């Protein structure tokens, strides 16, 4: 997009909602005593799902930061660039703080390294088959999915009531910031790609890749994160019933996923169409984040206008996406065999 020096400063959708993306570094620490093995309500299945997500988050966040960096080199507007940089900073800190919990999980013998490699492989294969633009669009869809999960948790905070205080604080802070920056990647991406038919098709293709990855990786990592001493529980339906209720029951955390997916295929989609972030942030600010965690935002230098050609999605891309789904299943089978 071209800039015009006489143009008034951009008001991003986040700014228009009174939302300022604010990097924070909380002092969370995770010790054996604070994090019981089944830290989520004594429930093996739910704990395994949130532990799996903690490892997936670290890999996903590396992609979000890389996406932000790529966009930043193409964003010629100070306000959009600043918000993108703040988003990247938040995501980098999320990964670093989740790594503290993941370290404890690894020390307990959970397959953290194996899981990280598996999820990294899924992303590199997506890029190998789909190309860099598809990887970025997949990151965009992933970010939207995480943001919606964050909204769902904060809409019913009682869903986290059973969690031990340390991991509960980690997730609530993380979800708070996901809501705070939910539009940032979308707005940076849209600034660079626009909202034309090619951009919409690319976003849709990214969503297909994201669904293929999350649909396989979250269940598989959940399975893998069942502790060695409770492996027999993997085969009992009772292990998974509470998790199924938490995710898919009435008001389940994933019950809005279909609507989210359908909405994001619209050309003029914006994350704030789904939820207004302001009242959520207002409601949780005092309980979930602290002013003393705030760290200075890194300065973002907007670049000159860079012409970005949005690749046109065609039947070959659809065929590649189908091929990718098959590959995901094969890689997932290898992962599950390795963590059996």
Contact residues toward Fe ion (CB under 5 A) are: 91, 94, 143, 178
Residue nearer to Fe ion on the CB measure, 182 or 332: 182
Residue number with CB closer to Fe ion (87 or 324): 87
Closer to Fe ion by CB, 77 or 91: give it: 91
Q: Which is nearer to Fe ion, 14 or 239 (CB)?
A: 14
Distance of closest approach, residue 59 Cβ to Fe ion, in angstroms? 11
- Compare residues 178 and 317 and give the one whose CB is closer to Fe ion: 178
CB of 95 to Fe ion, least distance (A): 7
Give a three-class secondary structure readout of the chain. Answer: CCCCCCCCCCCCHHHHCCCCCCCECCCCCCCCCCCCCCCECCCHHHHHHHHHHHHHHHHHHHHHHHHHHHHHCCCCCHHHHHHHHHHHHHHHHHHHHHHHHHHHHHHCCCCHHHHHHHHHHHHHHHHHHHCHHHHHHHHHHHHHHHHHHHHHHHHCHHHHCCECHHHHHHHHHHHHHHHHCCCHHHHHHHHHHCCCHHHHHHHHHHHHHHHHHHHHHHHHHHHHCCCHHHHHHHHCHHHHHHHHHHHHCCCCCCCCHHHHHHHCCCCCCCHHHCCCHHHHHHHHHHHHCCHHHECCCCCCCCCCCCCCCCCCCCHHHHHHHHHHHHHHHHHHHHHHHHCC
At closest approach, how far in Å is the CB of 175 from Fe ion?
9
Query: Whole-number minimum distance, CB 185 to Fe ion, in Å?
Result: 7
Q: What's the min distance (Å) between Cβ of 281 and Fe ion?
A: 14
Indicate the residue among 163 and 185 with the shorter CB distance to Fe ion: 185
How near is the Cβ of 139 to Fe ion at its closest, in Å? 10
| Chain centroid offset of residue 198 CA | 24
Give the shortest CB-251-to-Fe ion separation in angstroms.
23
Nearer to Fe ion, 82 or 178 (CB): 178
**Chain residue whose CB lies nearest Fe ion:** 94
């Amino acid at each position: 997009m071209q800039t015009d020096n006489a143009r008034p400063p951009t008001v991003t959708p986040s700014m228009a909602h009174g939302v300022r993306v604010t990097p924070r570094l909380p002092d969370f620490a995770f010790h054996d005593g604070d994090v019981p093995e089944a830290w989520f309500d004594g429930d093996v299945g739910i704990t395994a799902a949130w532990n799996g997500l903690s490892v997936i988050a670290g890999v996903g966040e590396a992609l979000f930061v890389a996406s932000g960096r790529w966009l930043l080199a193409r964003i010629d507007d100070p306000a959009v660039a600043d918000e993108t940089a703040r988003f990247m900073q938040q995501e980098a800190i999320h990964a670093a703080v989740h790594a503290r919990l993941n370290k404890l999980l690894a020390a307990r013998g959970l397959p953290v390294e194996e899981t990280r490699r598996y999820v990294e492989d899924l992303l590199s294969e997506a890029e190998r088959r789909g190309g860099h633009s598809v990887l970025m669009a997949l990151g965009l869809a992933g970010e939207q999915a995480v943001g919606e999960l964050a909204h769902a948790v904060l809409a019913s905070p009682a869903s986290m009531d059973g969690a031990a205080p340390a991991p509960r604080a980690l997730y609530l802070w993380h979800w708070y910031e996901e809501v705070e920056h939910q539009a940032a990647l979308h707005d940076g991406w849209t600034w660079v790609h626009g909202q034309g038919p090619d951009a919409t098709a690319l976003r849709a293709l990214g969503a297909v890749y994201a669904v293929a990855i999350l649909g396989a990786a979250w269940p598989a990592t959940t399975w893998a994160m069942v502790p060695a001493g409770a492996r027999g529980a993997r085969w009992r339906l009772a292990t998974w019933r509470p998790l199924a209720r938490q995710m898919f029951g009435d008001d389940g955390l994933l019950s809005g996923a279909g609507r989210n997916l359908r909405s994001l295929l619209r050309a003029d989609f914006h994350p704030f169409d789904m939820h207004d972030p302001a009242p959520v942030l207002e409601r949780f600010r005092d309980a979930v984040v602290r002013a003393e965690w705030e760290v200075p935002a890194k300065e973002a230098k907007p670049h000159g206008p860079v012409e970005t050609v949005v690749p046109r999605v065609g039947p070959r891309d659809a065929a590649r996406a189908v091929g990718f789904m098959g590959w995901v299943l094969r890689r997932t089978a290898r992962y599950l065999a390795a963590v059996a």
